[in-house]
């Protein structure tokens, strides 16, 4: 016969503290070869890329700041940032955050982990923090490596901003740093989506791919002629909104909105992942996620967030349409031209002239008469006019503009040859790239500040 049991000093087990769980998750992540390779790649490849490209005669002029890679080391990290926002960061977040929960499904270790940690909530927090740490390490690697590569290969020279004005090296350094910090927000949003996919879809490969798929969809949306308010309400906008840091004055409105929207996505997706994780039945060892639950509890709230964001942004900014209007394009082009004309003047050792003296203006038209003079397109044609002190005649130069829906434009000089019609200028020390031949610019989309 057995007697009633006695407590025997037993008690409900206390959950493992989050810092210990965090360290455990970090150890698990870092023990994976693919994570180690990614860390190594992010800390080495950008430097090699920037050094290699800077040594070539052909520059990636289709990438923002690519055409300045010979001129300053600060262009390198910005070129890498543009590439990272498009490809690297979505893929990195996919591999790390998109797999952090699914890996336990794949290995069949959930039950073991729950027995050891004794708190699903703490497991979630530890896993989230560990994956974010690795993602931050990867982003830091991309930023530091590309900066070091640029500075070693080219040097610490001034950077030409998106409105043509020169940024001193120290100023450029601060803005490069801010740009990389700004893209942390959309990266966190993708990480949140990765966590949500990883929790919701279990071992399904879609969980792993979700951040990359979402990022691709966002990029497509940014390329489409959608109303600006919709594009601002998507978290991917912050991947391009850092452009505004390189104008004078800075176009911080879109950047702040992009960062706020991205952070809202990051928080919402992470909270949804948390709720779904706590509701999960861990006794089902063959869990493969549920498509219906992914749509109902994952997708729909995020679609709702886009609608709410758009509803808040529209009245707050007063923006309508694409945000690309004739007077804004003219103003941006004239400003950039004036700054770059001054640069060309210095290259050619001509008498010093200021932007104010130039009084540059632009007159732009778009397509035929049947097309409204607004919105993105490669059919913008502009004539820039300027004045030189003591010269009565007005100088004019023609540009073809390709304006994309994010406000970025490439101005392609159409003559006269002495001003903007040829890619080289003859300086007293030899031929040099003509800053007025082709240049990048940025149209401020929000009606908040004057360029």
Partner 1 sequence: MDAVLAVRARGITKCFGDVVALDGVDLDVTRGQIHGLVGPNGAGKTTLLGLMLGLAVADGGALEILGVPVGRALSAVDGVAGFVDGPGLYPSMTARRNLAALASLRGRDARTAGIEEVLCEVGLRDVADDRVRGFSLGMRQRLGLAAALLTRPRLLVLDEPSNGLDPSGTRHVHRVLNRLAADGTSVVLSSHRMDDVEALCSEVTILATGRVVFSGPLTELAAGNSDLDYRLRTSDPEAARRLAAMTDGVRVVADGGTRYGDEVLVVRASVPALDRLVSGVVRSDIAVRELAPVVSPLEAAFLALTEQQERQDQREEHEHRAQRERQEAGR
Contact residues for partner 1, defined by CB under 8 A: 1-8, 10-14, 16-17, 20-21, 23-24, 27-28, 31-33, 107-118, 120, 282-283, 285
> 130: exposed, middle or buried (C-beta count within 10 Å: 0-12, 13-18, 19+)?
buried
Distance, in Å, from the CA atom of 318 to the CA atom of 406, rounded to the nearest integer, reads 17
| 8 versus 392: smaller Cβ distance to partner 1 | 8
Task: Give me the least distance between CB of 30 and partner 1, in Å please.
Answer: 9
Q: Least distance from C-beta 27 to partner 1, angstroms?
A: 5
Q: Beta-carbon neighbour count of residue 214 at 10 Å?
A: 25
- Report the nearest approach of partner 1 to the CB of residue 207 (Å): 19
Q: How far is the CB of 17 from partner 1 (least distance, A)?
A: 8
Minimum CB separation of residue 112 from partner 1 in Å reads 2
Task: Please state the φ and ψ torsions of residue 310, each to the nearest 5 degrees.
Answer: -65, -40
In whole angstroms, what is the distance from residue 65 CA to residue 250 CA? 17
Read out DSSP for 186-233?
Answer: HHHHHHHHHHHHHHHHTTSHHHHHHHHHHHHHHHHHHHS---HHHHHT
For residue 68, count other CB atoms closer than 10 A to its CB. Answer: 25
Distances (CA, A) of 9 to 5, 12, 13, 118: 12, 10, 11, 19
Rank residues 19 and 205 by Cβ distance to partner 1 and give the closer one: 19
Cα three-residue angle 255-260-261, rounded to 5 degrees: 100
What number of other Cβ atoms are within 10 A of residue 280's Cβ?
A: 18
Q: How far is the CB of 291 from partner 1 (least distance, A)?
A: 19
């Amino acid at each position: 016969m057995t007697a009633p049991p006695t407590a025997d000093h037993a008690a409900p087990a206390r959950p493992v503290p989050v810092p210990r769980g965090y360290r455990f998750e970090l150890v698990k992540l870092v023990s994976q070869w693919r994570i180690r390779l990614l860390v190594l790649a992010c800390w080495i490849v950008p430097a090699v890329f920037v050094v290699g490209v800077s040594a070539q005669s052909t520059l990636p002029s289709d990438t923002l700041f690519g055409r300045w890679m010979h001129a300053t080391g600060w262009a390198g990290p910005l070129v890498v940032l543009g590439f990272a926002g498009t490809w690297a960061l979505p893929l990195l977040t996919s591999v790390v955050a998109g797999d952090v929960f699914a890996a336990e499904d794949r290995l069949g270790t959930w039950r073991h982990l729950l027995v050891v940690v004794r708190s699903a909530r703490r497991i979630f927090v530890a896993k989230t923090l560990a994956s974010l740490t690795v993602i931050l390490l990867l982003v830091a690697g991309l930023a530091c490596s590309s900066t070091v590569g640029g500075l070693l290969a080219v040097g610490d020279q001034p950077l030409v901003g998106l409105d043509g004005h020169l940024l001193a090296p120290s100023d450029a350094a601060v803005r490069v740093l801010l740009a990389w910090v700004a893209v942390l927000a959309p990266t966190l949003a993708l990480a949140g989506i990765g966590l949500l996919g990883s929790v919701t879809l279990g071992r399904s490969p879609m969980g792993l791919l979700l951040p990359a798929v979402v990022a691709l969809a966002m990029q497509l949306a940014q390329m489409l002629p959608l109303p600006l308010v919709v594009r601002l309400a998507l978290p991917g906008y912050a991947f391009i909104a850092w452009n505004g840091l390189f104008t004078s004055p800075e176009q911080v409105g879109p950047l702040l909105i992009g960062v706020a929207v991205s952070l809202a996505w990051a928080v919402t997706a992470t909270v949804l992942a948390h709720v779904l994780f706590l509701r999960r039945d861990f006794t089902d060892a063959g869990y493969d996620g549920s498509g219906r639950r992914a749509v109902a509890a994952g997708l729909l709230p995020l679609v709702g967030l886009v609608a709410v964001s758009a509803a808040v942004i529209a009245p707050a900014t007063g923006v309508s349409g694409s945000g690309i209007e004739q007077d804004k394009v003219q103003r941006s082009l004239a400003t950039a031209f004036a700054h770059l004309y001054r640069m060309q003047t210095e290259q050619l050792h001509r008498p010093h002239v200021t932007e104010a003296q130039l009084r540059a203006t632009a007159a732009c038209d778009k397509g035929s008469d049947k097309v409204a003079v607004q919105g993105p397109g490669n059919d913008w044609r502009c004539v820039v006019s300027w004045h030189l002190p003591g010269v009565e005649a007005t100088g004019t130069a023609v540009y073809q503009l390709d304006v994309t829906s994010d406000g970025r434009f490439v101005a392609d000089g159409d003559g006269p040859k002495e001003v903007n019609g040829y890619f080289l200028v003859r300086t007293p020390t030899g031929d040099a790239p003509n800053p007025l031949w082709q240049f990048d610019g940025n149209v401020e989309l929000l009606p908040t500040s004057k360029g």
